[in-house]
Amino acid sequence: MDKIFNLIKQEERYQNSTIRLIPSENFTSEAVKKCLASDLTNKYAEGYPGKRYYQGNKIVDEIENLAIERGKKIFGVEHLNVQPYSGSPANSAVLMALLEPGDKICGMKLSAGGHLTHGHPKITFSGKYFESVQYDVNEEGRINYEELANFVKKEKPKLIFAGTTAYPWILDWKKFGEIADSVGAWLVADISHIAGLIVGEVHPSPVDYVHIITSTTHKSLRGPRGAIIGVTKKGIEKDIDLVKKIDRAVFPGLQGGPHMNNIAAMAVAFEEANGEEFRKYAQQIIVNAKALAESLKSKGLKVFGTENHLMVVDCGMGRGKEVAIKLEENGIIVNANTIPHDEAGPLKPSGIRLGTPAMTTKGYVERDFEALGVKIAELIKE
C-alpha cells in the first residue's frame, strides 16, 4: 500500500488521541468525508449551474443548486456562491469584484485578531495591491467602535472587512453597518470563525447590516474545507449588479473549475447545521468556552475572553510558542498567538489561542473543560 495511507492512518489516530483546541479546526461527519472522497473529484464543471463550459454536468448542476439553496437558507442571504476554494480566495474574489488596484481597504490588524486577507501590509495580495489602513483593539482586546468610526471618517476606505480570527467578543454588526454607511463603503462580514455560532443562533447574524458575507465552511460550521460568498438584500440595494460582479470575480476572474466534491460536502454540512441538534452543539461550544476561560482565570491566568468559541491566554512575555510546544508534548494541540498590544511582537508572541468547537464535537462538556483548564494552567506555570 502507498506509504501515504499509512501516514493518513497515523494522522487519524493522532487527531483522535489528542485534545484539539485550535479554534479553526473541527471534526467533520462521515457523510461529509464520503462526499470528499467520491467520484465528484473527477469532474470539471467550469461555469455555474445551467451555464457550464463543458458537457456532462446535469447531475453536478443539481448538486451545486442544492448546496446553494441549503446555504441561502442557513445564512439568510439573497444569493450564494459556493465555489470559492477556501476563505482566502473568497476574500480575494470580493476585492476583485468591487475594487480597482490601489483602492483603499480597511481591516483589523493581524496582531489584534484580524486575518491576513483583510489588508495585512506588504506580503499579502490584499495588502500589496490595495492601499490598506488597519484598526487595532483596546487593552482588553475589544474594538472601540467610536474610535473606529473616527478612523473610518478620516481614511474613507472603499471597503471595510469586519471579521476576525482571534477575537473573543461578540461583534456589533449594527455599529459596523453605521460606520461603513457613514462613508458609503462596502461592508464585508468575514464570518469564517463564527459561522457555526451564527447558524446555531448563539452569535448575532450580520446579514441585515452588511452587503456581503464571506465564510469558510470548515471551522465552527463543521463542514469541508471550502468557502462561500453571500450577497445580502442591503448589498443588492447598494448595487443591482452585485451578484453578477461577485460570480464573475470567482469564475472566470480568480478560479477555474469548482471542486464539486467539496460543494457536495458543503450541501451535506449545511443540512447538518440546519436544526435543533446543531443549535445545541453551538450552545455547548459557548458554555464550554466559558468553563475553560473561568477555570484558567481561577488559576490566576490572564485570559482575553470569552463571549464566543475562543480565548487568548497571556503566558508571559514572549512565551507563547514555548507553551504551545509544551502543551503539544502533553497531547494538547493549540497555537501561539499575540495578545492585545503584545510587546514581544508577532514573531515571539506572548499568548496562546484556545477554542472549543472540535472537542465539543467529541462530546466534551463543562466539567471536561474545567479539568482541562487546570491542567493547561499547570503546564503554563511550570
Ligand X SMILES: Cc1ncc(COP(=O)(O)O)c(C=O)c1O
Whether the bond between 252 and the residue before it is cis, its omega within 30 degrees of 0, is: yes
117 sits near ligand X (criterion: CB under 6 A):
yes
**Is there a catalytic annotation at residue 225?**
yes
For the CB of residue 246, give the shortest distance to ligand X in the complex, in Å: 16
Amino acid at 56: G
What the block records as the C-alpha cell of 45 is 464543471
Looking up cell 462561500 gives: 228
Amino acid at 123: I
For the CB of residue 379, give the shortest distance to ligand X in the complex, in Å: 25
**Is there a catalytic annotation at residue 219?**
yes
Residues 13-32 within binding reach of ligand X (CB under 6 A): 24
**Residue 34-73 contact track with ligand X, rule CB under 6 A, x = bound:** ----------------------------------------
290 sits near ligand X (criterion: CB under 6 A):
no
Looking up cell 445551467 gives: 50
Instruction: Single out the residue of 88, 111, 306, 350 in contact with ligand X (rule: CB under 6 A).
Output: 88
What the block records as the C-alpha cell of 350 is 506572548
What distance in Å separates the CA atoms of residue 346 and residue 339, rounded to the nearest whole number? 9
255 sits near ligand X (criterion: CB under 6 A):
no
Closest CA to 309 of 341, 342, 283, 333: 283
Closest CA to 250 of 96, 117, 22: 96
Q: Interacting stretch for ligand X, rule CB under 6 A, among 85-93, 259-267, 316-324, 344-352? A: 85-93
Catalytic choice (25, 64, 190, 314): 190
User: 3-state secondary structure string, 112-160?
Assistant: HCCCHHHCCCCCCHHHHCCEEEEECCCCCCCCCHHHHHHHHHHHCCCEE
Instruction: Single out the residue of 163, 168, 349, 351 in contact with ligand X (rule: CB under 6 A).
Output: 163
What the block records as the C-alpha cell of 378 is 499547570
**Residue 166-195 contact track with ligand X, rule CB under 6 A, x = bound:** ------------------------x-xx--
124 sits near ligand X (criterion: CB under 6 A):
no
Catalytic choice (28, 165, 214, 216): 216
**Is there a catalytic annotation at residue 329?**
no
Catalytic choice (33, 73, 225, 297): 225
For the CB of residue 298, give the shortest distance to ligand X in the complex, in Å: 29
Please report the DSSP string for 174-243 in residue order: HHHHHHHHHTT-EEEEE-TTTHHHHHTTSS---TTT-SEEEEESSSTT---S-EEEEE-HHHHHH-TTHH
What the block records as the C-alpha cell of 274 is 440546519
Q: Which residue is nearest to ligand X (CB)?
A: 87
What the block records as the C-alpha cell of 12 is 487519524
For 116, counting Cβ atoms within 10 Å of its Cβ (0-12 exposed, 13-18 middle, 19+ buried), the class is: middle
272 sits near ligand X (criterion: CB under 6 A):
no
Q: Which is nearer to ligand X, 89 or 373 (CB)?
A: 89
For the CB of residue 19, give the shortest distance to ligand X in the complex, in Å: 20
**Is there a catalytic annotation at residue 217?**
no
126 sits near ligand X (criterion: CB under 6 A):
no
For the CB of residue 241, give the shortest distance to ligand X in the complex, in Å: 25
Instruction: Single out the residue of 72, 115, 203, 353 in contact with ligand X (rule: CB under 6 A).
Output: 115
Which chain residues interact with ligand X by CB under 6 A? Answer: 24, 86-88, 91, 115, 117, 163-165, 190, 192-193, 216
Catalytic residues: 44, 46, 190, 216, 219, 225
